[in-house]
A and B are shown apart, each in its own frame.
Chain A
Protein backbone atom coordinates (compact mmCIF):
# COMPACT_ATOMS: atom_id res chain seq x y z
CA UNK A 1 0.00 0.00 0.00
CA UNK A 2 0.90 3.63 -0.25
CA UNK A 3 1.22 4.25 3.46
CA UNK A 4 1.01 2.72 6.91
CA UNK A 5 -2.46 1.33 7.50
CA UNK A 6 -4.00 0.86 10.94
CA UNK A 7 -7.25 -0.79 11.94
CA UNK A 8 -9.64 -0.24 13.45
CA UNK A 9 -9.60 3.54 13.39
CA UNK A 10 -11.75 3.68 16.51
CA UNK A 11 -12.23 1.13 19.26
CA UNK A 12 -14.47 1.35 22.29
CA UNK A 13 -13.86 -1.21 24.99
CA UNK A 14 -15.37 -1.87 28.37
CA UNK A 15 -12.90 -1.90 31.23
CA UNK A 16 -11.43 -5.36 31.57
CA UNK A 17 -11.85 -6.35 27.92
CA UNK A 18 -8.94 -7.40 25.73
CA UNK A 19 -8.27 -5.46 22.50
CA UNK A 20 -6.09 -6.05 19.45
CA UNK A 21 -4.87 -3.25 17.21
CA UNK A 22 -3.47 -3.97 13.78
CA UNK A 23 -0.75 -2.27 11.76
CA UNK A 24 0.21 -2.82 8.11
CA UNK A 25 3.55 -1.11 7.43
CA UNK A 26 4.74 0.28 4.14
CA UNK A 27 5.89 -2.53 1.86
CA UNK A 28 9.62 -3.09 2.24
CA UNK A 29 9.91 -1.33 5.59
CA UNK A 30 11.53 -3.82 7.94
CA UNK A 31 11.47 -1.52 10.98
CA UNK A 32 8.17 -1.03 12.79
CA UNK A 33 7.33 1.07 15.83
CA UNK A 34 4.37 1.56 18.14
CA UNK A 35 3.69 4.81 19.99
CA UNK A 36 0.99 5.85 22.45
CA UNK A 37 -0.44 9.37 22.26
CA UNK A 38 -2.51 10.44 25.24
CA UNK A 39 -4.91 13.36 24.90
CA UNK A 40 -3.00 16.64 24.70
CA UNK A 41 0.38 14.94 24.67
CA UNK A 42 2.97 14.01 22.10
CA UNK A 43 3.44 10.40 21.06
CA UNK A 44 5.46 8.20 23.40
CA UNK A 45 7.51 5.23 22.26
CA UNK A 46 6.23 1.79 23.15
CA UNK A 47 8.15 -0.82 21.18
CA UNK A 48 10.31 -1.50 18.11
CA UNK A 49 10.60 -4.43 15.71
CA UNK A 50 13.26 -5.25 13.17
CA UNK A 51 11.56 -7.78 10.90
CA UNK A 52 9.95 -10.27 13.30
CA UNK A 53 12.33 -9.57 16.17
CA UNK A 54 11.15 -7.29 18.95
CA UNK A 55 14.37 -5.47 19.76
CA UNK A 56 13.05 -2.91 22.23
CA UNK A 57 9.94 -3.08 24.38
CA UNK A 58 11.13 -0.66 27.03
CA UNK A 59 8.17 1.69 26.54
CA UNK A 60 5.39 -0.82 27.15
CA UNK A 61 3.67 0.52 30.28
CA UNK A 62 2.77 -2.82 31.85
CA UNK A 63 2.70 -6.55 31.24
CA UNK A 64 -0.87 -6.13 29.99
CA UNK A 65 0.62 -4.74 26.78
CA UNK A 66 1.96 -7.19 24.24
CA UNK A 67 3.09 -6.69 20.63
CA UNK A 68 3.95 -9.20 17.96
CA UNK A 69 5.03 -9.31 14.33
CA UNK A 70 5.29 -13.03 13.58
CA UNK A 71 6.07 -12.84 9.85
CA UNK A 72 7.96 -9.58 9.84
CA UNK A 73 5.17 -7.61 8.18
CA UNK A 74 1.82 -7.00 9.90
CA UNK A 75 2.02 -6.22 13.59
CA UNK A 76 -0.57 -6.48 16.33
CA UNK A 77 -0.59 -4.58 19.61
CA UNK A 78 -2.65 -6.37 22.22
CA UNK A 79 -3.85 -4.89 25.46
CA UNK A 80 -5.26 -7.26 28.03
CA UNK A 81 -7.74 -6.32 30.76
CA UNK A 82 -8.00 -2.74 29.52
CA UNK A 83 -8.09 0.09 32.04
CA UNK A 84 -9.36 3.64 31.63
CA UNK A 85 -5.80 4.97 31.61
CA UNK A 86 -5.19 2.95 28.44
CA UNK A 87 -7.45 5.35 26.53
CA UNK A 88 -5.25 7.00 23.91
CA UNK A 89 -4.40 7.03 20.22
CA UNK A 90 -2.06 4.20 19.31
CA UNK A 91 0.21 5.08 16.40
CA UNK A 92 2.18 2.70 14.26
CA UNK A 93 5.18 3.79 12.19
CA UNK A 94 7.56 2.07 9.81
CA UNK A 95 10.91 2.90 8.29
CA UNK A 96 13.68 1.60 6.09
CA UNK A 97 16.51 -0.18 7.93
CA UNK A 98 19.20 2.38 7.10
CA UNK A 99 17.13 5.34 8.24
CA UNK A 100 15.25 4.08 11.25
CA UNK A 101 14.64 7.53 12.66
CA UNK A 102 12.84 8.70 9.50
CA UNK A 103 9.51 7.16 10.41
CA UNK A 104 6.24 7.16 8.49
CA UNK A 105 3.13 7.10 10.62
CA UNK A 106 -0.30 5.66 10.20
CA UNK A 107 -3.46 7.53 11.15
CA UNK A 108 -3.68 5.68 14.44
CA UNK A 109 -6.31 3.79 16.39
CA UNK A 110 -8.24 5.80 18.95
CA UNK A 111 -8.99 3.55 21.91
CA UNK A 112 -11.62 4.60 24.43
CA UNK A 113 -11.99 2.46 27.55
CA UNK A 114 -15.26 2.99 29.39
Chain B
Protein backbone atom coordinates (compact mmCIF):
# COMPACT_ATOMS: atom_id res chain seq x y z
CA UNK B 1 0.00 0.00 0.00
CA UNK B 2 1.11 3.51 -0.71
CA UNK B 3 2.10 5.92 2.05
CA UNK B 4 2.82 9.64 2.07
CA UNK B 5 4.98 11.49 4.57
CA UNK B 6 4.74 15.23 5.02
CA UNK B 7 7.70 16.01 7.18
CA UNK B 8 6.46 19.30 8.64
CA UNK B 9 3.13 19.62 10.38
CA UNK B 10 3.43 23.41 10.60
CA UNK B 11 5.44 25.94 8.60
CA UNK B 12 5.35 29.60 9.68
CA UNK B 13 6.84 32.14 7.28
CA UNK B 14 6.79 35.87 6.73
CA UNK B 15 5.03 37.44 3.77
CA UNK B 16 7.12 37.56 0.58
CA UNK B 17 9.51 34.89 1.87
CA UNK B 18 10.09 31.65 -0.08
CA UNK B 19 8.61 28.42 1.21
CA UNK B 20 9.05 24.69 0.63
CA UNK B 21 6.60 22.09 1.89
CA UNK B 22 8.10 18.63 1.84
CA UNK B 23 6.44 15.44 0.68
CA UNK B 24 7.85 11.93 0.32
CA UNK B 25 5.97 8.86 -0.83
CA UNK B 26 6.59 5.13 -0.77
CA UNK B 27 8.00 3.79 -3.97
CA UNK B 28 5.88 2.14 -6.62
CA UNK B 29 6.24 1.24 -10.26
CA UNK B 30 4.29 4.26 -11.35
CA UNK B 31 2.60 6.97 -9.35
CA UNK B 32 0.48 10.02 -9.84
CA UNK B 33 1.13 12.84 -7.40
CA UNK B 34 -1.04 15.70 -6.21
CA UNK B 35 -1.04 18.70 -3.95
CA UNK B 36 -4.35 19.85 -2.48
CA UNK B 37 -5.00 23.03 -0.49
CA UNK B 38 -7.66 23.38 2.19
CA UNK B 39 -8.69 26.84 3.35
CA UNK B 40 -10.55 27.12 6.67
CA UNK B 41 -14.06 25.64 6.54
CA UNK B 42 -13.66 24.74 2.89
CA UNK B 43 -13.13 21.53 0.95
CA UNK B 44 -9.93 20.33 -0.63
CA UNK B 45 -8.96 22.14 -3.82
CA UNK B 46 -6.58 20.60 -6.32
CA UNK B 47 -3.49 22.82 -6.52
CA UNK B 48 -1.36 20.88 -9.00
CA UNK B 49 -0.72 17.38 -10.25
CA UNK B 50 1.95 15.21 -11.79
CA UNK B 51 0.70 12.45 -14.07
CA UNK B 52 3.50 12.09 -16.62
CA UNK B 53 5.83 14.13 -18.76
CA UNK B 54 7.74 17.10 -17.37
CA UNK B 55 8.77 16.54 -13.77
CA UNK B 56 8.20 20.21 -12.90
CA UNK B 57 4.56 21.21 -12.61
CA UNK B 58 3.13 24.62 -11.84
CA UNK B 59 -0.11 26.07 -10.53
CA UNK B 60 -1.80 29.26 -11.65
CA UNK B 61 -1.02 31.04 -8.38
CA UNK B 62 2.74 30.65 -8.39
CA UNK B 63 3.27 27.29 -6.67
CA UNK B 64 5.40 24.63 -8.29
CA UNK B 65 6.37 21.06 -7.44
CA UNK B 66 9.01 18.76 -8.82
CA UNK B 67 8.66 15.02 -9.11
CA UNK B 68 11.93 13.37 -8.09
CA UNK B 69 11.74 9.63 -8.69
CA UNK B 70 15.14 8.78 -7.22
CA UNK B 71 14.30 10.53 -3.96
CA UNK B 72 10.59 9.61 -4.07
CA UNK B 73 9.74 13.23 -3.35
CA UNK B 74 7.26 15.80 -4.61
CA UNK B 75 8.08 18.97 -2.68
CA UNK B 76 5.94 22.08 -3.09
CA UNK B 77 7.62 25.46 -3.46
CA UNK B 78 6.71 29.09 -3.88
CA UNK B 79 9.32 31.84 -4.25
CA UNK B 80 7.26 34.55 -2.52
CA UNK B 81 4.20 33.83 -0.38
CA UNK B 82 1.20 36.03 0.38
CA UNK B 83 -1.00 36.26 3.43
CA UNK B 84 -3.74 34.61 1.37
CA UNK B 85 -1.62 31.46 1.00
CA UNK B 86 -2.30 30.62 4.64
CA UNK B 87 -3.98 27.21 4.53
CA UNK B 88 -3.43 23.50 5.07
CA UNK B 89 -1.64 21.71 2.25
CA UNK B 90 -2.01 18.00 1.58
CA UNK B 91 0.20 15.84 -0.59
CA UNK B 92 -1.49 12.80 -2.14
CA UNK B 93 -0.53 9.85 -4.31
CA UNK B 94 -2.35 7.28 -6.36
CA UNK B 95 -0.59 4.33 -7.88
CA UNK B 96 -0.88 3.33 -11.49
CA UNK B 97 -2.64 0.12 -10.57
CA UNK B 98 -5.76 1.23 -8.77
CA UNK B 99 -5.67 4.63 -10.43
CA UNK B 100 -8.39 6.15 -8.26
CA UNK B 101 -7.66 5.64 -4.59
CA UNK B 102 -5.85 8.71 -3.22
CA UNK B 103 -3.55 8.26 -0.25
CA UNK B 104 -2.96 11.51 1.62
CA UNK B 105 -0.29 12.78 3.95
CA UNK B 106 -1.23 14.29 7.30
CA UNK B 107 -1.00 17.81 5.96
CA UNK B 108 1.17 20.87 6.53
CA UNK B 109 -0.30 24.04 7.96
CA UNK B 110 1.30 27.01 6.21
CA UNK B 111 0.90 30.23 8.15
CA UNK B 112 2.02 33.43 6.43
CA UNK B 113 2.64 36.29 8.82
CA UNK B 114 2.81 39.99 7.94
A interface list, Cβ under 8 A from B: 3-4, 31, 33, 35, 40-45, 48, 56, 91, 93, 95, 100-108
Known: A31-B100, A42-B106. A101 touches B94 (CB 8 A): yes
Min CB gap A15→B, angstroms:
26
With beta carbons under 8 angstroms apart, the residue of B43, B92, B94, B102 that contacts A4 is B43
With beta carbons under 8 angstroms apart, the residue of B43, B102, B105 that contacts A107 is B43
Q: Is the contact region of chain B dominated by helix, strand, or loop, or is it mixed? A: strand
B interface list, Cβ under 8 A from A: 4, 32, 34, 36, 41-46, 49, 90, 92, 94, 99-107
Q: Judge whether A103 and B102 touch: CB under 8 Å.
A: yes
Q: Judge whether B44 and A91 touch: CB under 8 Å.
A: yes
Residue on A with the closest CB to B41? Answer: A107
With beta carbons under 8 angstroms apart, the residue of A42, A45, A95, A106 that contacts B43 is A106
Q: Judge whether A42 and B107 touch: CB under 8 Å.
A: yes
Residue with the highest number of chain B CB atoms closer than 10 Å, among A48, A103, A104: A103
Could you tell me the distance between the alpha carbons of A102 and B4 in the complex, rounded to whole angstroms?
Answer: 17
Q: Judge whether A45 and B44 touch: CB under 8 Å.
A: no
Could you tell me the distance between the alpha carbons of A105 and B45 in the complex, rounded to whole angstroms?
Answer: 7
Q: Judge whether B101 and A42 touch: CB under 8 Å.
A: no
Q: Judge whether B43 and A43 touch: CB under 8 Å.
A: no
- Chain A residues lying within 8 Å of B49, measured Cβ to Cβ, are 102
Q: Judge whether A101 and B41 touch: CB under 8 Å.
A: no
Q: Judge whether A56 and B43 touch: CB under 8 Å.
A: no
- Chain B residues lying within 8 Å of A41, measured Cβ to Cβ, are 106-107
Q: Judge whether B44 and A105 touch: CB under 8 Å.
A: yes
Could you tell me the distance between the alpha carbons of A22 and B18 in the complex, rounded to whole angstroms?
Answer: 40
Residue pairs across A and B with Cβ atoms less than 8 A apart, 27 shown, are: A3-B43, A33-B102, A35-B102, A40-B106, A42-B4, A42-B92, A43-B44, A43-B104, A45-B102, A45-B103, A48-B101, A56-B101, A91-B44, A93-B44, A100-B100, A101-B34, A101-B94, A101-B102, A102-B46, A103-B46, A104-B46, A105-B36, A105-B43, A105-B45, A107-B42, A107-B43, A108-B43
